[in-house]
Amino acid sequence: MLVEQIWTGNAYCNFHYLIACPETNHALVIDPLEYAQCLDRAKERGWTITQIVNTHEHGDHIGGNKPMKQATGAKLLAPAGANIAGVDHRLSAGDVITVGTSVTLRVLDTPGHTMTHISLLADTDPSHLFCGDTLFNAGAGNCHNGGHTETLYQTFMEQLAPLPDTTWVHPGHDYLINNLNFALDREPDNQAARALLEQVFDQAPNQPLVTTLGQEKQINPFFRLDSPSLVTELRKVYPDLPNLPQPQTVFVKLRELRNRW
C-alpha cells in the first residue's frame, strides 16, 4: 500500500490522502476538497484515481467531489445516511473497500463529529487509520455542527482506543500545534506533549509529523481522561466536578473548553 498525504495550505488546514495499489497504480482519494492538488499528485506518481471516499458530509470534505468525478470518472463512496449528492455506493461499518489488487480498507463507524461519520482502517503492519474529523493529532473533532459529544466519547473508547498503538493516525486537518497548546493548558506537566510541541513548532507544513495511536495516548487529552493533573486543572473551571469524575464527564467538559479555547 502506498500513501500520499497532501497538505493543502488552505484556510481549513485540510489534509487529503491518496492510497494506491503498487501493482496496478489504481488509487483512492479521501475527502478531496482541493481536487486539483490531488489530481496533480496522482499524475506525478503515475496513479489513476478510481475511487473517492468521503468520511462525512461537511462541505470542506465533499466540495471537490463533482469536479473530481468529472476529471476521473471515479466512483464516489460515502457513509450511509450522509447528506451527500452523487454517491455511487453507501458505506457501513464492516464494509471492505478494495483498491487495485493489493489494498483493502475496512470501514469503521465513527460517529460523534457528525452522526454519519466513517473512518478507514488499513489492517497492514503497522496499520493506518484515516479518521477524517473524528480524531486529530492531539485533539478530537468538534460536535457543534450535527454531532454529539457523548457519542464521540463512545467512538474514542470503543472504536479507537482498542486499535494497536503502532497504528499511524491520518486526520482530516492539521491542528497539531493549537491542540498541543490546549493539551498543555489542561495538563501542564505532560512532558511528552511539551517535547512534541518543541519538535514540531517550526516544522515544514508540507512535511508534517505523522503520529501513532500510542503517541496520541501520551499527548492527547481526550485519551488521558484519568490524568490527575488534567482533572485538577479541569476542576478549576468546573468546581462542582467530583474528585473522581467519570471519564465521559471529563471528555465532555474538555470538548466544551476546546470549543471556546
Report the distance separating Cα 14 and Cα 114, nearest Å: 17
Strands 89-91 and 75-79: parallel
DSSP string, 81-126: T---TT-SEEE-TT-EEEETTTEEEEEEE--SSSSS-EEEEE-SSS
Please give the Cα distance from 209 to 204 (Å, whole number).
Answer: 9
The type of residue at 45 is R
Residue among 16, 26, 31, 60 flagged as catalytic: 60
Joined together, the cell numbers standing for residue 192 give 511528552
* Torsion over CA: 63, 66, 67, 71 (sign): positive
Of 129, 148, 94, 134, residue with least CA distance to 222 = 134
Distance of CA 134 to the CA centre of its chain: 5
Tell me whether residue 148 is one of the annotated catalytic residues.
no
144 is catalytic: no
Check if 89 is active-site: no
Helices 176-186 + 191-200 axis angle, to 10: 150
Is residue 173 annotated as a catalytic residue, yes or no?
Answer: yes
- Indicate which residue of 26, 113, 117, 170 is catalytic: 113
- Residue in 61, 117, 128, 170 annotated catalytic: 61
In the chain, how long is the greatest CA-to-CA distance? Answer: 59
Would you call 16 a catalytic residue per the annotation?
no
Of the residues 16, 26, 56, 128, which is catalytic? 56
56 is catalytic: yes
3-state helix, strand, coil in the chain (%, to 5): 35, 25, 40
Among the listed residues 31, 109, 133, 174, the single catalytic one is 133
Catalytic residue among 16, 58, 117, 170: 58
DSSP result, 7-18:
E--STT-BEEEE
133 given a catalytic annotation: yes
For the annotated catalytic residues, the residue numbers are: 56, 58, 60-61, 113, 133, 173
